[in-house]
Structure 1
Amino acid sequence: MATGSPDFQEVSGERIAVRHLAGREPGIVWLGGYVSDMKGTKAETLHEWAAANGRAFLRHDYSGHGESGGDFADGTISKWLAESLAVFRRFSAGRQVLVGSSMGAWIALRMIEELHKSGEGDRVAGLVLLAPAPDFTVELMEPKLKKTQRRDLEKKGFFEVRSDYSDQPYVYTRALFEDGRANRVMTGPINTHCPVHVLQGMKDKDVPHTHALKLVSCMPSDDVTLSLVPDGDHRLSRPQDLALLIRAIEAILAQAGA
């Protein structure tokens, strides 16, 4: 379990909460999902594994999430991406394996794009993506928006959806949808230049497994492994799911020569 107070980094006026563990490279960088925080089951499991194996481990809360400052409704992919890059550059060194869950997979893929643009692409040793939801606003949500939701987006600038994982509803803003279009990654070939392992539950009600199949089809040049979990849901947090996650990370590390 996470103990003590996190460190903080200011990014564009927001206080971003960070927890990091020193260790050998390649380290592990956790990128959580929409409305999740860095003290969830998967992140805590990775912390324990990293500590036991002497690996560096880094995680943070996006603005409006967990222990970070800011208003959740102000968040966009671009904003959370900028925060993730700032934390990555300040608190990690050398090669890292990015582990992205749901929306965190989208952030991870955009991080790789930006790191390659800045000449830092070789810092990513591999990718592990759980129930990946890149482009979810455009690919998964927009086609299914109800008339009332479209009206709320237009008139109020947001709509709410009941959450299966929290007492509080999920809030989706017009800014999130507009910014999502500007951050799409599944519009053509995706070249990560590193090994990738995708974990996807077949009973995921939030991100269908067909989305993972489409994502893998966008990676023709990469060494990609896709593990489908027949009875897995979106969270992939059962003991057997967590064991699969650790095996996937260990396999990526082995491919990275570490």
Structure 2
Amino acid sequence: MNAGELEYLNVADDRIAVRHRNGATPGVMWLGGYRSDMGGTKAVALDTWAEETGQAFTRHDYSGHGESGGEFRDGTISLWLAQSLAVLRQRTVGPQILVGSSMGGWIALRMIQELHKAGEGDHVAGLLLLAPAPDFTAELMEPVLTPEQRAELMERGFLEEHSEYSPEPNIYTRALFEDGEQNRVMTGLIDTHCPVYIMHGMEDPDVPYQHALKLVEHLPADDVTVSLIRDGDHRLSRPQDIAMMITALEGLVDRVVDPD
């Protein structure tokens, strides 16, 4: 696996698509957002960067996303978390910097919690969170559900919502909401034991930048950096956003390689 070739990893009942590039440590692991895949602009830019710098890089599609098997409607935070942990444990070597975009930021924070519980906290050397959306079901969606949407969730088991990024509507299931409640991270201190860098656009229509500031309140006081992009949107995929992401990532890599 020297050039990010596609392979599949069986995790429980799902066939998870993975692309891994061997290279120097700390490795970098990409965690995409809700309904996004590892072929997106930011993930591909990071793969190009890894090829040019010789850094190890791993990306995968959650079940129901991209090139992976499984049904999207069956997905939950717990399921996608388990798949991400399996990829980390089976396809990466040495400490990793987790780059989580939107929902991927929630997955990254939950991964750190589960790894520390298992005595495997040294797998993570840093976090780069892009427009992070931890606890989005409870914090961002539930408070604004209409009575009609709540009824739809209970009666149909899911609701549909127009997507700005796809001709297909976003689908949110009752199982996703219920499971999200069990995976909340913004309920107390999230002890990451590693440096955290957060980028968030102030023109983000999906996850307000205030959500990132609220997340910071739950992180240790040391080693947390927040960069607010005044005209940035949710995707943070413009050339200047990509350049900023890579600069932040290189800073995290340097801190691991030379902690002094």
Normalised TM-score (structure 2): 0.97
The CA deviation at 1:5 is 6.0
SS at match of 1:172: strand
- Counterpart in 2 of 1:244? 244
164 and 172 in structure 1: CA distance in 2 versus 1, 3 angstrom threshold: same
The CA deviation at 1:243 is 0.3
- Counterpart in 2 of 1:68? 68
Whole-angstrom CA distance in 1 between matches of 2:34 and 2:222: 26
Preserved CA contact (<8 Å) 2:207 2:234: yes
Paired AA for residue 189 in structure 1: L
Query: Is structure 2 residue 159 aligned with structure 1 residue 153?
Result: no
SS at match of 2:153: helix
SS at match of 2:257: coil
- Counterpart in 2 of 1:229? 229
* 1:1-258 paired onto structure 2 within 5 Å: 6-257=6-257
SS at match of 2:254: helix
Whole-angstrom CA distance in 1 between matches of 2:70 and 2:52: 33
Deviations 1:40-74 (A, max 9, x none): 00000000001100000000000000000000000
Deviations 1:189-217 (A, max 9, x none): 11100000000000000000110000011
Preserved CA contact (<8 Å) 1:196 1:225: yes
Aligned Cα root-mean-square deviation (Å): 1.1
The CA deviation at 1:256 is 1.3
Whole-angstrom CA distance in 2 between matches of 1:139 and 1:256: 33
Whole-angstrom CA distance in 2 between matches of 1:220 and 1:121: 16
% identity of equivalent residues: 64
SS at match of 1:256: helix
Paired AA for residue 217 in structure 1: E
Deviations 1:88-109 (A, max 9, x none): 1010010100000000000000
SS at match of 2:241: helix
Preserved CA contact (<8 Å) 1:191 1:222: no
Runs of 4+ with deviation above 4 angstroms: none
The CA deviation at 1:139 is 0.2
Whole-angstrom CA distance in 2 between matches of 1:5 and 1:147: 47
Preserved CA contact (<8 Å) 1:193 1:222: no
SS at match of 1:248: helix
SS at match of 1:185: coil
Whole-angstrom CA distance in 2 between matches of 1:122 and 1:220: 18
Whole-angstrom CA distance in 1 between matches of 2:193 and 2:256: 12
Whole-angstrom CA distance in 2 between matches of 1:113 and 1:128: 16
- Structure 1 residue runs of 5 or longer lacking an equivalent are none
The CA deviation at 1:122 is 1.1
Normalised TM-score (structure 1): 0.97
Whole-angstrom CA distance in 2 between matches of 1:8 and 1:171: 25
The CA deviation at 1:225 is 0.3
The CA deviation at 1:254 is 1.6
- Structure 2 residue runs of 5 or longer lacking an equivalent are none
Across the two proteins, how many residue pairs are aligned to each other? 256
Whole-angstrom CA distance in 1 between matches of 2:5 and 2:235: 26
Whole-angstrom CA distance in 1 between matches of 2:122 and 2:153: 40
